[in-house]
Amino acid sequence: MENLGRGSASSPEGGVEMPPEGRTPGPLPYEGVWRFTAPAIDASVPQARHAVRDLLVRQGVPVADDIVHGLLLIVSELVTNAVRHAALLSPVLAVEVAVGAEWVRVSVEDKHPYRPTALEADHGQTGGRGLLLVREITRESGGVCDVEHTSSGGKVIWAALPLSPGVV
């Protein structure tokens, strides 16, 4: 994994985050942004999940266990979607982890131009609800998620969760 730099923490939505009262400006030891790429193949799903988990542990991110479990499920779903639906136009995907003072944001980027749609629960289908699951985990954790187009014509899907339940 490559650390693409540290600097002043930005909010999960990309705006500048002001330091809380009593906190000195500057990043905490665990704050930063890391990005890695992987081929758009099935084996990348568990590899991405393990890489994110190992990064959180290695950096000493003070994240609650239930948030970690939700975050890793989100990573699995987003990478799975990129592998299943974007691999033809995007043989490589990128996973980014950004950690701020009170939140962690994961995103998966591919070069496929179409914006995915969250399907409603259909008990007759065994798949197709990954984005619905991502949205629900994010909401229950008190986080936010979205899909954005990239300047290269692809898309990035991201979810930001608080490090502790009830904080954002």
Q: Which two tokens stand for residue 132?
A: 């619905």
Find the Cα–Cα–Cα–Cα dihedral 136, 137, 141, 144, rounded to 10°: -70
Maximum average pLDDT range among 15-24, 119-128, 156-165: 156-165
DSSP, collapsed to helix, strand or coil, labels residue 153 as coil
pTM over 0.85: no
d(CA 3, CA 13): 20
DSSP character at residue 29: T
What mean pLDDT comes out for the span 117-144?
Answer: 76
HSE-up of 139 (CA within 13 Å, CB side)? 6
114 pLDDT band, cuts 50/70/90, is confident
5 pLDDT band, cuts 50/70/90, is very low
Region class of 32: left (phi > 0), else alpha (psi between -120 and 50), else beta? left
Phi, psi at 161, each rounded to 5°: -120, 150
Sheet containing strand 2-3, edge to edge, reads 2-3, 32-39, 92-99, 103-110, 155-162, 144-149
Q: Is the pLDDT of residue 9 over 50?
A: no
Find all residues with CB under 8 Å of 89, minimum gap 6, and list them. Answer: 110, 111, 112, 113
